[in-house]
Structure 1
Amino acid sequence: PFSPRTIVTNLGTSLIVKPDDGGSSVGVFPLAEVTGGELREAIDKAFNFTNRVLIEPLLTKMDEVECGVISHQGGYLSSPPGLVINPLAEEKFLTYNQKYLSSNQAYIEVPAPIGEEKQQEISNLAIMVAQALSVGGYARVDFFLEEGGRVWFNEINTLPGLTASSHFPLLIEAIAYPWERLIPHLIKEALEAASHRSSLNLYGEE
């Protein structure tokens, strides 16, 4: 295992500690100018939510953008990126409460006002991520966009919410997939994938 000193030497003193398989900011701990004791404590807390913990550099001067991706005719379609808006601008990190429970909930603006060229770049990256991971059905792909224009892949949510406050339906509606078209499409894609899988020789039978 790596020591806190080794982690800081390699990643810097501004870090974020989080479960590698979680979501909704649960078990996530941003640390600015971290000390060894704080890092150990954050790692211990994160292990209450998962069996594996990610430790990454903490980005602060950036915007969060998201794309909705759906499987389509053997490939993928991506929405334009949406910009996550934090009504409490002084808050650098969106907690679970602010995402879902606060009266000042974060929301998404689609498309993100970042110019068509950058929108297309991020949409293409979302498709590349989906292809690399062989995503089935649908997913939401999240990125960070730094002030200088550099794009960082943050994470993929392979089962994003479909509730009234979820971002995915708003994203995918931007490419002409409203509810009444999206749900039948996802069902059709799932049935076709199941049919293909059932035709495979998974057990080595002659």
Structure 2
Amino acid sequence: MRKINIKDLELNIDITQILNLYASKSPIIIDVDGKIYNNLDDVKKKAVIYKNLEAKQMPSILDAKAIANQLFADYKPMITGTNCKIKPVSNWQNIIDMNKENMLYFDHQSDGVEMFEDKELENYGWNASALEINYRQISEFIEESCEGVLLCYDNEIQFSGFVIVENIEDVRLKVKEFICKKAQENIKDELIDLEDADVIEALELFGIEA
């Protein structure tokens, strides 16, 4: 999985393409690699740093540079010719909101990972807790073993971020295998009360024989 620290991210955007979308009143969407889209369906598996679905039309007397400055006002734009350099970090909180529909989970230094947005994975995570496997362990496994992107803000003091995965079916399969393997280790290390009702239910869910 790619880890991208938005703190250090700068993108060069082609103003010409942006202005064409703006003039045609099309949605303007930019992903973390600086690629430009006009359809939300194209970015379901991508981390988005700019989303303007209904660009407010500005006075026609404004030139291209003025329009670009308005469109990217929250991104500290620096315009040279037809190139606009933006810094997404300045709009980090809004970027989190832009990606809520597509993220698998949100991670924060104080709360950690509290839940998975995918129902099947959330069911795995909830039941894995009875087997002494927590959300942090599962999320770290996902970041190490699955395809996707972790977009975060990390300055070594503060951390927050979210994950968007490429293939949720692959993630479900790998996470279940990870939980089964880790649970067997925890059973061997006598960390689990095999008489506990929640443990018995979790073992049945994952097909683990104790």
Shorter-chain TM-score tier: under 0.3
Structure richer in helix, relative to its length: 2
TM-score, with structure 1 as normaliser: 0.24
- Structure possessing the higher radius of gyration over alpha carbons: 2
- Please give the TM-score of this superposition, normalised by the length of structure 2: 0.24
Q: Which has the higher contact order (CA 8 A, sep 6+)?
A: 2
